[in-house]
Amino acid sequence: MSYETDNIARIQGYVPGEQPSGSGVIKLNTNENPYPASPLVAETLAKIQIEELRRYPSATAREFCHLAAEIHGINPENLVPTNGGDELLRLALTTFVGESDTVAITTPSYSLYPVLANLRGCSLHEVPLQKDLTYPEDLIETLCNLSAKICILVNPHAPTGALLPVSFIDSLARKFKGVLIIDEAYADFVDPDLSYDSIPLIRKHKNLLFLRTLSKGYSLAGLRFGYGIGDHELIAPMLFKTRDSYNTDYVSQKLASAALKSKNYAMTTWEKIRGSRIVLAESLSQLGLKNWPSQSNFILAQIPQEPGAKNVYHKLKADNILVRHFDVESLSDKIRITIGSEGENKQLISSLKKIIAP
C-alpha cells in the first residue's frame, strides 16, 4: 500500500538536466555560466571558519537582502531570499494558490511549472505559443480571461530567449487579477544597450513578483540562492509564514552577498557570453540552422528532419557535448544550447558540422 496522497501518487516529478560527474564533458545543457564566480566570492569562501557554521544562519538572510535591495533600488522588505529560484516558485504556489484554483502558464516554458502546479494539487492552464514560438497577439486577454490565481511567464523566455517589453508586463500586471510571476532567471544576460529594467514596476503593481537567481548570472548554481522581488504585502507571507524557517544556509548567504558586492566582475562574464552569443548564432545560421534571437545565455536551434534533433542530441553526447532536447511536440525538432566558453562553443560547432553536413 502507498501512503502518498492521491494527487502525489498520480504525478511524475521534475526531471532535471543531466549532471555528469566526470570532468571531460562539455556541458551546454543546464544554462550554467561557463566562467567561475568573482575573486571576492573565492576570498569570502576561503575566509569562512567552521566555527561560524555551528550556529543557525540569519533566518531572513539580512545582509544579502540589504545588498540586493540596493542594487535594484528597492527596500529590503521587497525581497524574500530563497534556496534557489525554484523555491520561490514553490512558495508562491503554496501562498497564493488553493487546490481549487488555477495556475496559468504559456507552453513551452520552464518544465518545472506544471510539476509544481501538480504538486500543489491545483488546475493548470497552458496557453500555447504560436508555431514560431512567439507569443500570440491576444495573450493578455487570454490570460486575464482564465481567472487564474497565478500566472507565470519566463523573461527572457526559456527556451527561446525572447524578451518581453516592459510595457507588456506593465499592462498585464494591471489587467490580471491574480499574482503575476515574472521569472527573470536569465535577466542578467540581456543586452545593456536596451537599458532594460522591469523591477521598478513593483511600485506600480501590488500583484507583481519577480524571480531572480545567482545560479546563472553569478556562476553559483551549486550554491542554491535565489530571491523574489515584489510589493511588501506580497513578500511578507512568504518571508514570515510559508518559507522553511532557515531556508538559506550561512555559506550561501555569505557567498551570495560577496557575489553582489562584486557585481562588476560578474558583468564581465555577461559581456563575454553576449559576445559569444552573437558568434554562436552566426555559426548556427551558417550551418543552415534556424535559431531564435536570444537575450539569454542559451540559443534554441531548429534541426532539419534529417538528421533530426533527438539524433543530433545523441551524437553530440557521443562527442562528449551535452545539450538539451525536450521531448514535447513544439520542441521535438529543436535543441537548446547553453552558451559556453569560446573554446567550448567552437568544439560544439565543429561537432555539429560533422553531424549536420558530413
Q: How far is the CB of 285 from a copy of itself (least distance, A)?
A: 29
Interaction between residue 213 and a copy of itself (CB under 8 A): no
The CA distances from residue 263 to 218, 300, 337, in Å, are: 8, 27, 25
Which residues fall within 8 angstroms of residue 33, CB to CB, at 6 or more apart?
A: 216, 217, 218, 219, 221, 269, 273, 297
Whichever of 70 and 244 has its CB closer to a copy of itself, that residue is 244
Q: Which residue has the cell 533527438?
A: 310
Q: Does 215 bind a copy of itself (CB under 8 A)?
A: yes
User: Where in 23-62 is the site for a copy of itself (CB under 8 A)?
Assistant: 27, 30, 32-37, 41-42, 45-46, 48-59
Q: Read out DSSP for 22-61?
A: SSS-EE-SS---SS---HHHHHHHHH--GGGGSSPPPTT-
Shortest spacing between CB 101 and a copy of itself, in angstroms? 8
Q: Which residue has the cell 557585481?
A: 263
Answer for which of 8, 71, 194, 278 binds a copy of itself (CB under 8 A) is 8
Of 18 and 197, nearer to a copy of itself (C-beta) is 18
Q: Label residue 63 exposed, middle or buried (CB < 10 Å: 0-12, 13-18, 19+).
A: middle
The minimum distance between CB 257 and a copy of itself, in angstroms, equals 14
Residues 248-267 that bind a copy of itself (CB under 8 A): 248-252, 255
Amino acid letter at 133? L
Q: Of 168 and 250, which has the nearer Cβ to a copy of itself?
A: 250
The region of 92-100, 162-170, 276-284, 307-315 touching a copy of itself under the rule CB under 8 A is: 92-100
Does 224 sit near a copy of itself (CB under 8 A)? yes
Distances (CA, A) of 330 to 89, 109, 334: 24, 11, 8
Nearer to a copy of itself, 181 or 284 (CB): 181
User: Should residue 22 be labelled a site residue for a copy of itself when binding is judged by CB under 8 A?
Assistant: no
Q: Which whole-number Å values give the CA distances from 336 to 27, 95, 135, 291, in the listed order?
A: 12, 32, 19, 10
- Sole window of 64-72, 90-98, 164-172, 271-279 interacting with a copy of itself (rule: CB under 8 A): 90-98
Based on the shown chain and the rule CB under 8 A, indicate whether residue 95 belongs to the binding site for a copy of itself. Answer: yes
Q: Apex CA 19: angle with CA 13 and CA 25, to 5°? A: 150
Which residues fall within 8 angstroms of residue 102, CB to CB, at 6 or more apart?
122, 123, 124, 125, 146, 147, 148, 149
| One residue of 124, 237, 272, 311 binding a copy of itself per CB under 8 A | 237
Minimum distance from residue 86 beta carbon to a copy of itself (Å): 5
As a whole number of angstroms, the distance between CA 69 and CA 176 comes to 26
Give the nearest distance from C-beta 51 to a copy of itself in angstroms: 4
User: What single-letter DSSP state applies at residue 214?
Assistant: S
Terminal CA-CA length for the chain: 54
Residue 168 contacts by C-beta under 8 Å, 6 or more apart in sequence?
140
Stretch that binds a copy of itself, among 6-14, 183-191, 316-324, 349-357 (CB under 8 A): 6-14
Site for a copy of itself in 149-208 (CB under 8 A): 149, 178-179, 206-207
Q: Using the rule CB under 8 A, which residue among 71, 73, 98, 288 binds a copy of itself?
A: 98
Size of the site for a copy of itself (CB under 8 A): 84
Quick check: 19 binds a copy of itself (CB under 8 A)? Answer: yes
Q: Residue 327 interacts with a copy of itself (CB under 8 A)?
A: no
Residue 355 phi, psi (nearest 5): -80, -40
CA dist., res. 192 & res. 271, Å (int): 9
Q: Which is closer to a copy of itself, CB of 216 or CB of 292?
A: 216
Q: How far is CA 125 from CA 106, 113, 118, 132, 143, in A?
A: 8, 11, 11, 20, 9
Can you tell me which of 155, 219, 291, 347 binds a copy of itself, judged by CB under 8 A?
219
Selected from 81, 84, 114, 340, the binder of a copy of itself by CB under 8 A is: 84
Shortest distance (Å) from residue 253 CB to a copy of itself: 9
